[in-house]
Structure 1
């Protein structure tokens, strides 16, 4: 597994006016885990454009309904558990190397629509930032702690 590269990716920590973070439950999992919108970058796509594209693909929220507050000062890596390496991304990657963006949601809850052309979430909610590490699958827990620490001064 160590010889495999990381998949280039991006994620969005989307805040509502109450300072809560958007999280969704993946449609392809029965786990009670919740995650922030994130995904792989297309060839030649920059991280900001990819993050905003992923947000719209997963939530129906267009880039015009968010304000990008900050980009992470560095990338964050996570490794897949060994049993998932051969199953995801055709076995080409060991995990993801993500650039994260802190964004504010400018729309209303009623505008969020998970019924996108290629749905990824089955449910969504707003969560307190401090709850995020306990809500995500264990192999992404440290990543979420790192993203929280990165944006903590801006979250309040």
Structure 2
């Protein structure tokens, strides 16, 4: 289901623990990491889609989490044409997402990546709040930064993105 501009409605999930670290999932049989996300089915609310995706991808039930906040509006990103299925080329531009910030009130052992027959992730870890921006695939970086910036107001004690970047070691090119 695409909107008239070619964007597929989707939800993104930022799950934090008691230390304000974020859940970071490793895609099955890939070396890429991302936040849980997934499409909104026709007639499904963004919140219902979020709970469905949370169960399908992370194995968590509503009682394992508390909603802290969500983005005010849709955040969009374009998918490079070489990533788009051939049959969708010309009509599909990318995703439009409502992002939810959830706090894990259950335990780490409640996470079950094999809750369905088609797992999305085969590994996971907790990561510093801002770290995913620099390690997610490039075409998602801007939407990750916008989502994390907007949702950071709901997280007590999380440093600013600028402070996080200021304490990261400088990267040097070869020969420096």
TM-score strictly above 0.5: yes
Per chain length, whose mean CA-contact separation is higher, i.e. which structure has more relative contact order (CA < 8 Å, sep 6+)? Answer: 1
Aligned-partner SS, 1:129:
coil
* CA distance in 1: counterparts of 2:21 and 2:99, whole angstroms: 17
- Equivalent pairs, count: 150
Q: Who is 1:124 aligned against? A: 124
Moved over 3 A (4+): none
Matches within 5 A, 1:76-91: 76-86=75-85, 90-91=87-88
Q: Which residue of 2 aligns with 1:107?
A: 106
Task: Give, in angstroms, the shift of residue 132 of structure 1.
Answer: 1.3
> What CA deviation, in whole Å up to 9, does each residue of 1:46-88 have, x standing for no partner?
101101110110011111111011111111001111101125x
**Aligned equivalents of 1:93 and 1:60: distance in 2?**
30
CA offset at residue 93 of structure 1? 2.4
* Whole-angstrom distance in 2 between the partners of 1:144 and 1:84: 18
Taking only aligned residues, the RMSD between alpha carbons, in angstroms, comes to: 1.5
Moved more, 91-100 or 59-68: 91-100
The CA deviation at 1:4 is 5.8
Q: Secondary structure at the match of 2:25?
A: strand
Ranges in structure 2 where 5+ consecutive residues have no aligned partner: 159-176
Q: Which runs of 5+ in 1 are unaligned?
A: none
Whether the 8 Å CA contact 2:63–2:106 is kept in 1: the answer is no
The equivalent residue for 1:98 is: 97
